[in-house]
Amino acid sequence: MANTFSLILVLVTIVTGIVWAFEKLVWAKKRQQAVADIETKTNEPLPKEVVAKVNRQPWWVENSVSIFPVIAFVLILRSFIYEPFQIPSGSMMPTLLVGDFILVEKFAYGLKDPVFQSKIVETGEPKRGDIIVFRYPPQPNIDYIKRLVGMPGDTIRYTEDKQVCVQSPGSQECKPVPRSDVKKSDFFQDGVPLIQAKEQLGDVAHSILISPVRRDNVAAYQPRPYQAEWVVPQGEYFMMGDNRDNSADSRYWGFVPEANLVGKAVAIWISFEFDRDADSVLPSWIPSGVRFNRIGGLI
């Protein structure tokens, strides 16, 4: 499926690029030659204002020549290097907060064409523990961000006490993901402090949040023979939010195909607060403050 914005960006780049090339290689030289021909016929230099008039670019040429380098730079940057994304929900707390603006490394899992997202060059593979932006499988026009928990071939179990277990291909047992530093957090839900813990997914240590009173909504899990067990197909991945009881993830809507991966979240470039009093007259989309301590943080 083509990305509409990327398609428009590519088309604008192509059109302005063609105009830019013709201006540099053909039209500008023709105007210069016209000035030279007039000066030859009159046998005297033309006044500066006449030369300027003859050399004047049509408005659409002038605009195309001006914006082409900028548009081309933006296209290359957001298609192949880095693209900014905003965190709209709390599903990745405490790692990512609502109002964080992050940079996503577009070349982490291969270079893709900017319109249809077909892989052009292999550059790397996803690793367990990566925070990944991907196109939401039921609605590919929507971007989601979650943590990669299950690799292709893994069996993932989520126990009643909210423990993730991973059984890799060839392994005879489902190993619980190690947890440590369990404590009350500064985050609340319905007036109850959430529990925060450190979790070790492969080489990645990160924090998660768990509600001490909220039961996991097992009834809403994606239908399968074993209710809280998922076998990850080849070429697909199992994603979960760090805010385990407040995340719509692979437990509920299934696996993420490799073709849906957009890139790896690597840094927070700015973070806004949106907290305000109930009687505030400011629109909800206007920030109420900046979290300076989060700017430049690596993910």
Give pLDDT tens digits for 68-82: 999 999 999 999 999
How far apart are the C-alpha atoms of 245 and 91, rounded to whole Å? 8
Angle at CA 120, nearest 5°, toward 79 and 66? 35
**Residue 2: pLDDT above 60?**
no
- pTM of whole model > 0.85? yes
Map out the domains of the chain as residue ranges: 1-80, 88-297
State whether CATH 3.30.70.380 applies to domain 88-297.
no
pLDDT at 274: 87
What pLDDT digit, counting tens, does each position of 229-241 carry? Answer: 999 999 999 999 9
Q: How far is residue 219's CA from residue 228's CA, in Å, rounded to a whole number? A: 10
- pLDDT value of residue 50: 84
- For the cut 70, the answer to whether the pLDDT of residue 167 exceeds it is yes
290 or 227, higher pLDDT: 290
Helix, strand or coil, per DSSP, at residue 138: coil
Residue 278 has pLDDT above 80, yes or no: no
Measured between alpha carbons, how far is 144 from 142 in angstroms, rounded to an integer?
Answer: 7
Catalytic residue numbers, as ranges: 91, 146
Burial of 115 (0-12, 13-18, 19+ CB in 10 A): middle
What is the rounded average pLDDT for all residues in the chain? 93
Q: Encode pLDDT of 25-66 as tens digits.
A: 999 999 999 888 888 888 888 888 888 888 899 999 999 999
User: Given the DSSP bridges, would you call strands 192-201 and 179-189 parallel, antiparallel or unpaired?
Assistant: antiparallel
Extract the tokens encoding 14: 């192509």
From the list 195, 127, 129, the residue with the least C-alpha distance to 162 is 195
How many CB atoms lie under 10 A from the CB of residue 94? Answer: 17
The answer, yes or no, to whether residue 124 has pLDDT greater than 50, is yes
**Is residue 168 exposed (0-12), middle (13-18) or buried (19+ Cβ within 10 Å)?**
middle
What residue type is assigned to position 13 of the chain? T
Share of the chain above pLDDT 70, in %: 99
Quick check: 189 pLDDT over 60? yes
Report pLDDT digits (tens) over 203-222. Answer: 999 999 999 998 888 888 98
pLDDT-wise least confident of 124-133, 159-168, 183-192, 271-280 = 271-280
pLDDT exceeds cutoff 70 at 1: no
